[in-house]
């Protein structure tokens, strides 16, 4: 199988297209405009750093998907998508970041030319890559169309992974194992955090003797001390200091498939509060994993975790996990199932999620997390890194 489209077979792409069309029928949509680059890649194999300009995949009921993007990116589509070249369309460069015209103006003429101008058209309204200007342009230029919000329609088709997808996530797991091992090896008092970030990237991209790594959808998150009371800070050029903890939320990435994992490193001697939080996380993760099996709901996993936390006097009500897989920046989450109270998504074999019960207190924080695969009988943590607070005294 050629590498150009992630190594997936035409049959797998056909299955993806069929499931998407079935969901379109249920939603009452005849044409789908897909703007999320993760969904574009999943449907067609397209892989390129072109999502900073407008692009899309058109999914109809009667032909293969159509890739649509900037003219200079069309050759990139020819190198990556599984469709033949007559399913690759582009807009001229004067449409790029122009105040006079918009790429969706041009897309509207394409839609009209295929006889789709009066169809029920689904768009991903709540998506990073579909702007208010996109929607205004489509409304103006396709007055006979009926637009529907189908945010996450394609995302939900990605929830259960194929064997090939799981293979890629296992490779990402091998990478994140190496990334955490290298981080613990180098983390020490006096080391600048940017140096650690550089080594994390180097390790993840160098990969193994068998395969290399890809860039993750989120940069290394690695706040220290009081900054670790917030979950999404990155790094600076300050040095690590004794008596402080740093959590490292990292992900290996292979062919855009992710395996995120967090571990925390404390330099010095952690006090009882740290050890209490560590034990709560260890027991809470174990309790949640017991509930992570086919037939249970996502809220069952969260409930088991939160009940364990309560025994330690810890109250947490934010979600503690989410579906992961194929992603582009700025997020490796799939925006579908969440591990939290009220989410009644039924777990199925092949689902993968980041089980991430981070604890962020007033002036410190700790994370110990796992990427989990639902199996036929239970669950499996894809990466193998000791589940503990790492201490360098």
Query: In the chain, pLDDT over 70 holds for what percent of residues?
Result: 99
Global pTM value: 0.96
Determine the Cα–Cα distance for residues 51 and 56; give it in Å rounded to an integer.
Answer: 9
* Helices and strands, counts by H and E, the chain: 10, 16
Give yes or no for residue 4 having a pLDDT over 80.
Answer: no
Q: What is the pLDDT of residues 263-290, one digit of tens each?
A: 999 999 999 999 999 999 999 999 999 9
Task: Yes or no: say if 221 and 248 are a contact pair by the CB < 8 Å rule.
Answer: yes
Q: What is the pLDDT of residues 294-314, one digit of tens each?
A: 999 999 999 999 999 999 999
pLDDT value, residue 337: 97
Give yes or no for residue 253 having a pLDDT over 80.
Answer: yes
pLDDT, mean of residues 315-340: 96
Determine the Cα–Cα distance for residues 50 and 125; give it in Å rounded to an integer.
Answer: 20
Report CA Rg, the chain.
22
> What is the full DSSP assignment across 292-356?
-STTSBHHHHHHHHHHHHHHTT----S--EEEESB--TT-SEEEEEE-STT--PBP-TTBEEEE-
User: DSSP H helical segments within the chain, as ranges?
Assistant: 10-27, 37-44, 74-80, 103-113, 132-141, 153-157, 163-186, 193-206, 272-291, 298-311
Closest C-alpha among 109, 48, 56, 105 to residue 73: 48
CA–CA distance from 62 to each of 58, 66, 71, 295 (Å)? 11, 11, 25, 35
Query: In the chain, pLDDT over 90 holds for what percent of residues?
Result: 97
CA–CA distance from 112 to each of 36, 90, 106 (Å)? 22, 15, 10
Task: Yes or no: say if 355 and 288 are a contact pair by the CB < 8 Å rule.
Answer: yes
pLDDT value, residue 1: 40
pLDDT, mean of residues 106-112: 98
Task: Yes or no: say if 228 and 247 are a contact pair by the CB < 8 Å rule.
Answer: yes
pLDDT, mean of residues 131-159: 98
Which position has the token pair 């983390």? 187
Give yes or no for residue 2 having a pLDDT over 60.
Answer: no
Q: What is the pLDDT of residues 164-217, one digit of tens each?
A: 999 999 999 999 999 999 999 999 999 999 999 999 999 999 999 999 999 999
Residue 160: DSSP 8-state = B
Q: Which residues pair with 12 in a beta bridge?
A: none
Q: What is the pLDDT of residues 5-50, one digit of tens each?
A: 689 999 999 999 999 999 999 999 999 999 999 999 999 999 999 9
Task: Yes or no: say if 165 and 7 are a contact pair by the CB < 8 Å rule.
Answer: no
Kindly report the number of other CB atoms within 10 A of residue 61's CB atom: 12
pLDDT value, residue 3: 55
Q: What is the pLDDT of residues 243-252, one digit of tens each?
A: 999 999 999 9
Mean pLDDT of all residues belonging to the chain? 97
What the block records as the tokens of 374 is 């639902």
pLDDT value, residue 316: 87
Kindly report the number of other CB atoms within 10 A of residue 53's CB atom: 16
CA–CA distance from 194 to each of 175, 190, 197, 198 (Å)? 20, 12, 5, 6
């Amino acid at each position: 199988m050629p590498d150009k489209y992630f190594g997936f077979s035409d049959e797998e792409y056909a299955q993806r297209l069929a499931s998407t069309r079935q969901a379109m029928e249920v939603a009452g949509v005849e044409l789908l405009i897909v703007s999320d680059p993760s969904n574009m890649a999943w449907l067609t194999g397209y892989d390129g750093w072109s999502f900073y300009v407008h692009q899309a995949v058109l999914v109809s009921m009667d032909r293969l998907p159509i890739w649509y993007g900037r003219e200079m990116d069309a050759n990139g589509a020819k190198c990556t998508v599984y469709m033949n070249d007559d399913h690759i369309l582009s807009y001229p460069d004067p449409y790029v970041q122009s105040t006079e015209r918009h790429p969706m103006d041009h897309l509207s003429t394409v839609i009209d030319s295929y006889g789709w101008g009066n169809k029920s058209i689904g768009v991903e309204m709540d998506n990073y890559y579909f702007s208010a200007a996109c929607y205004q342009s489509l409304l103006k230029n396709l007055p006979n169309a009926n637009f529907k919000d189908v945010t996450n329609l394609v995302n939900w088709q990605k929830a259960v992974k194929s064997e090939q997808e799981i293979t890629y996530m296992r490779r990402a797991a091998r990478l994140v194992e190496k990334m955490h091992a290298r981080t613990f090896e180098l983390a020490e008092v006096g080391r600048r955090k940017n140096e650690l970030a550089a080594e994390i990237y180097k390790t993840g991209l160098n990969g193994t003797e068998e395969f290399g790594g890809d860039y993750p959808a989120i940069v290394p998150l690695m706040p220290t001390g009081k900054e670790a009371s917030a979950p999404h800070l990155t790094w600076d050029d300050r040095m690590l200091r004794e008596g402080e903890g740093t959590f490292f939320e990292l992900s290996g990435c292979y062919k855009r498939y992710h395996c995120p994992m967090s571990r925390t490193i404390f330099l010095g001697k952690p006090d009882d509060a740290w050890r209490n939080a560590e034990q709560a996380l260890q027991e809470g993760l174990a309790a949640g994993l017991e509930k992570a099996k086919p037939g249970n709901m996502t809220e069952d996993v969260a409930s088991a975790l939160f009940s364990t936390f309560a025994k330690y006097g810890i109250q947490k009500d934010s979600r503690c996990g989410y579906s992961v897989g194929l992603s582009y920046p700025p997020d490796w989450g799939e925006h579908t199932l969440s591990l939290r109270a009220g989410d009644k998504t039924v777990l199925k074999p092949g689902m993968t999620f980041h089980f991430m019960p981070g604890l962020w207190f007033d002036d410190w924080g700790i994370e110990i997390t796992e990427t989990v695969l639902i199996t036929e009988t239970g669950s499996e943590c894809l990466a193998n890194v000791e589940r503990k607070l790492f201490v360098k005294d």
